[in-house]
Homo-oligomer: A and B are copies of this chain.
Amino acid sequence: LTEDDLIRSFQAQARRLGIASGNGVVQGIGDDCAIFRPPGGRSDLVFTTDMMHEGVHFRLGESARAVGHKALTRSLSDCAAMGARPLFCTLSLAFPKEAERWAKDFYNGFSRLASVHSVIIAGGDLASTERICCDVAVCGQVPRGKAMLRSAAVAGDTIYVSGTLGKAALALESGRRFVPQARVQLGEQLRDAGVRCAMDLSDGVSSDLARLCKASGLAANLTDVPIARGATLAQALHGGEDYELLFTVPHSRGVPKGCHAIGHIMEGRAGLVLFRGEPLAPQGWDHFRSQ
């Protein structure tokens, strides 16, 4: 069982019940965000939700402010991947009663980042539990029909990433601090430049590119990846939580500075990724795969 298998089985059941799309939902389970089309409006709304759990996504020893920052970054990054401007968020937060100071520091980090991106904190839920966890939902806005999708890659497209890879994996292994930044501005810029296919790199390019290819019914040939200073090739290929954008364009002109071409989309088995000609197994983070 992998995370993707589970998502597909949940999606299949929603389809059988007739509740996988409709009511204005034009993109349901399976992309970085869901897309809702308000009747008569000129904008689509995108929705994403991301959890973080103590002992899984962070440790208690980490700065609570940094954890709050990252909690919002994850969802903002999903918005960025759709090319959407984030409008508002909700925060569900559970923590032990005695961790009130921690929770307030978390909220400081969370709300500061919300303020930087002018994201309204519209609501949420609180609970007292033994271990800390949170779930953040973000709603963003994108011109109608212009959201970038995982499924929109075309054979022949050049594949790009928005920065170097392996930064978060390197920081984790070396105990150094790394504060990821959601590429919100870049996402809107790419959308305005007509880019149709993007996703964010949360689990590692070997896994995430395979997902993009699978969603598009195509394969990819990865020729090179920009490795972060000090990181290994394995960290760059399989390390998660860099929150860079992965996107494809029909030709190379007009790609913003700092973005790196890393390969091409091609016909082939849906989801297959070659690296320098050899099949590359998706070895990024998966919550449910047996190790």
Contact = CB atoms under 8 A, between A and B. Distances in A.
B48 A123 contact: yes
Contacts of A119: 19, 23
Chain A interface mostly: mixed
Contacts of A43: 38-39
A174 interface: no
Contacts of A49: 90, 92, 123-125, 135, 137
A158 interface: no
In the complex this chain forms, how many copies of it are found?
2
Contacts of A178: none
A87 interface: yes
A13 B128 contact: no
Interface string A126-153: 1111110101010100000000000000
B121 A55 contact: no
Interface of A: 1, 3, 6-7, 9-10, 13-14, 17-25, 28-31, 33-34, 36, 38-43, 45, 47-51, 53, 55-57, 87-88, 90, 92, 94, 97, 100, 103-104, 107-108, 111-112, 114-115, 118-131, 133, 135, 137, 139, 287-288, 290
